[in-house]
Amino acid sequence: MFRVNEVSMNVRHQTGLGLMTTLRRGLCHDSGMAAFTWTTRIRFVDTDASQRIHYTALFRFFEAAEQEFLRELGLVYSGLADSEAGWPRVRAECDISGALVYDDEIDIEISVNRVGTSSFELGFRAIKESQECAKGKVVIVCMNTGTQRAQALPEAFATALRNHAQ
């Protein structure tokens, strides 16, 4: 696990979802690994009848953070040279350990857990007021859309992920 350095660069911008979010970059206190954090707020639409976060909203937040993380690395799925590549998630999991409710501000921290030949795993943590409230991971495969089979990650993509994981 990693924590964002207090002296991190902040960038506020408008997302495609119409939400104002904050991106923070810093160094991990424990390993020196580059850290990435995406900050957002739980909206009413993200909650269930009890005004607690609906579990599906965490996966949407994880995916939004993933997109911003990859953009920071200069990697955008649609911008890859191989137009035959698809990026299905073949595994997704999330454990919720704390209450997340309407209007809470949360940080989504991302780590690169593994980079393989044709897939990679990203880890996520949802943090509220310095407390971990949820954690999860996704395994993403680079798939040839013509054959519907796994194919090697583009070299630049794999290299950028490996460099971030170090």
Asked if residue 4 belongs to a domain, the reply is: no
Q: What share of the chain in percent tops pLDDT 90?
A: 67
Region of poorest pLDDT, from 38-42, 78-82, 120-124, 154-158: 78-82
Q: What is the number of structural domains in the chain?
A: 1
Q: How confident is the model at residue 33 (pLDDT cuts 50, 70, 90)?
A: low
Which tops the pLDDT comparison, 13 or 123?
123
DSSP string, 65-112: HHHHHHHHTT--GGGSS-TTEE--EEEEEEEE-S--BTT-EEEEEEEE
Asked if residue 77 belongs to a domain, the reply is: yes
Q: Mean pLDDT score of the chain, rounded to an integer?
A: 82
Domain coverage including residue 95: 9-165
Give pLDDT, residue 20: 39
